[in-house]
Chains A and B, each alone.
Chain A
Amino acid sequence: MDAITWGVAVVAVLLGVAWYLSYSAARLDRLHARVEGALSALDAQLVRRAEATLELANSGALDPASALILAGAASESLEAHNERSGEDLLEGQHFAGREVIESDLTAALQIALTPPVVEELRGDPGLAGEPALARVEAAAMRVQLARRFHNDAVKDVQRMRRKWVVRWFRLAGHAELPQTIEFDDEVPSAVRA
């Protein structure tokens, strides 16, 4: 083989490698964007859930003790969100202990929204509690969806980032490895039924 053939072969291989690198980088970028989108959707739904819970607590349709429990858990959730507003959600990958706070809100809803309470709220559509309960339910269901979609996306990113091409060529740059978010997001059983 003469030098020209060699040269052509080397250029072809280099072009192939370059294409594969750019393709992999684009694929990884798309996956990171998916995680980011899912995380921001989850964040938005958590805020909605907390706000709807607060609304329900203040509607006067619940007994004062339940209302206090719900209001306390919901405002903790909103505070935790506001402390971090402005920060880049993906930066540092900290859901920053919000898992515990959100699990607490889930538990509070579970305790306060017993079957008789839900029945009473739904039985009187004229009451302010009924629309608030519907909003809590809608947001709680969307929290479940968003968290699952987020975790699916995270698993795809993690799988991609284990590939040699991503590790050797540092295609992920400085982006931290996203982690799944785990907390209790059950919709209260009485509400869902």
Chain B
Amino acid sequence: MRIGIVCPYSFDVPGGVQFHVRDLAEHFLGQGHHASVLAPADNDTPLPGYVESVGRTIPVRYNGSVARLNFGPVTAARVGRWLERGEFDVVHIHEPVTPSISVLALWAADGPIVATFHTSNLRSRAMQAAYPLLRPSLEKIAGRIAVSEDARRTVTTHVGGDAVVIPNGVNVDRFASAAARPEWQGTEGAPTIAFLGRLDEPRKGLPVLAAAMPTVLAQYPGARLLVVGPGDAAAARERMAPEVAAASEFLGAVSDADKASLLASVDLYVAPHTGGESFGIVLVEAMSAGAPVVASDLPAFLRVLDGGRAGATFQNEDAEALAAQVVRLAGDPAARAELAARGRSRARVFDWSVVAEDVMAVYEMVTHGAGLVRTDATDTRWTRLLRRGRGGDD
């Protein structure tokens, strides 16, 4: 199958959508499909062979944050050429309502179109203002995908209709094959506990874990808390009780490989997030690496943990309940091994191989009996008219 994927965000910077697009494209290429990714990027950014750049981006304030996007007639022409040259069976557009090449591609294409909605915090004001304009383009989407239940809710309330939920994939094998490091491994009676997340973002839950630690340390004085994530470590240490600060090691932001090794080494991974999580990819990473997971009972986490079977849960923001779970598991290697085993098998559900199969099923449904993706006839006729009207020479 010839697949065209449109990514609105620049490949110059790392980001969730970019990784998603990269992994998806590489998976399909590995299966022998043809895949071409259209994305913004600077001229000097090294790009994989399957990525075609539409040029550099402009920083724009949109939806409450600064996004690097590109648009305008030159970009539109490039998008049109990519569509014409590609002769795609299906075009998969990510974030189709951002003012970017995604909207331009949706505008210009006609035929089997799939769209994936990533965001779960669309500002309704921007959407409502642009609605009459976007409506005809959005009607072209034959298959809508949302990466989480929350993203799906955004689609149903702001865009209308429904979407199928296909979560982000995780490269399970990369985590499963990570080697443990002795300095991060605990011993009998002195377990290691990992936390991952921004230190100064309270919703990541470090304060909850810090409040639970005194109880844990009373039982296991040798316990160590390994804190990974960007942020001000000195300030975070200040906010902790003295004995907790003494038992904590701040590792800062670490590489993907180190993160995988850490998760493969520790006795417990704790996810004390208090809200704002729509999926919980880090839980899947921990399960893949074989770390027993203790997580707050957020709906998103319960879904990932198979209702609590693949990881221990505690009532959100309840530090004592968290401490009880940690103490129980720290003293029970068999229970930890059992959780780790269930976590490993649960993580397989979120592997790219499974996720990409689901995406391929969506492609199959929208391409059933349909022809290739063409450039939109009504659109080109109209733009040609416009150009002629302006005396353009294009």
Q: How far is the CB of A129 from chain B (nearest CB, A)?
A: 21
> Please, how many angstroms separate the alpha-carbon atoms of A51 and B382 in the complex?
47
Stretch of A2-10, A38-46, A69-77, A114-122 on the interface side: A38-46
Stretch of A57-65, A92-100, A150-158, A167-175 on the interface side: A150-158
Task: With CB as the reference atom, state the residue of chain B lying closest to A31.
Answer: B139
Whether A80 is near chain B, meaning CB under 8 Å from some CB there, is no
If A23-B378, A152-B161, A156-B161 touch, whether A30 touches B365 (CB-CB below 8 Å) is no
SS of A interface (majority): helix
Chain B residues 95-147 with CB under 8 Å of chain A are 110, 136, 139-140, 142-144
Q: How far is the CB of B129 from chain A (nearest CB, A)?
A: 19
Task: With CB as the reference atom, state the residue of chain A lying closest to B361.
Answer: A142
Whether B73 is near chain A, meaning CB under 8 Å from some CB there, is no
B358 partner residues in chain A, CB cutoff 8 A: 141
On whether the beta carbons of B143 and A145 are closer than 8 Å, the reply is yes
Whether B85 is near chain A, meaning CB under 8 Å from some CB there, is no
> Please, how many angstroms separate the alpha-carbon atoms of A30 and B140 in the complex?
8
Number of A residues near B (Cβ < 8 Å) is 27
If A40-B368, A41-B369 touch, whether A156 touches B361 (CB-CB below 8 Å) is no
On whether the beta carbons of A142 and B364 are closer than 8 Å, the reply is yes
Task: With CB as the reference atom, state the residue of chain A lying closest to B378.
Answer: A26
Whether A27 is near chain B, meaning CB under 8 Å from some CB there, is yes
Task: With CB as the reference atom, state the residue of chain B lying closest to A28.
Answer: B139
> Please, how many angstroms separate the alpha-carbon atoms of A146 and B143 in the complex?
9
> Please, how many angstroms separate the alpha-carbon atoms of A37 and B144 in the complex?
15
A183 partner residues in chain B, CB cutoff 8 A: none
A34 partner residues in chain B, CB cutoff 8 A: 139-140, 142
> Please, how many angstroms separate the alpha-carbon atoms of A153 and B164 in the complex?
14
B162 touches which one: A23, A45, A146, A152 (CB < 8 A)? A152
Interface string of B34-75 (1 = CB under 8 A from A): 000000000000000000000000000000000000000000
> Please, how many angstroms separate the alpha-carbon atoms of A40 and B367 in the complex?
11
Chain A residues 108-139 with CB under 8 Å of chain B are 138
If A26-B378, A30-B110, A37-B142 touch, whether A151 touches B369 (CB-CB below 8 Å) is no
> Please, how many angstroms separate the alpha-carbon atoms of A34 and B378 in the complex?
16
- Ranked 9 nearest A-B pairs via Cβ: A41-B368, A152-B161, A145-B365, A26-B378, A146-B365, A41-B365, A156-B139, A149-B143, A155-B161
| Given A40-B369, A146-B368, A149-B365, 10 extra CB contacts under 8 A | A30-B110, A30-B140, A37-B369, A38-B142, A138-B361, A145-B164, A145-B365, A148-B162, A149-B144, A151-B162
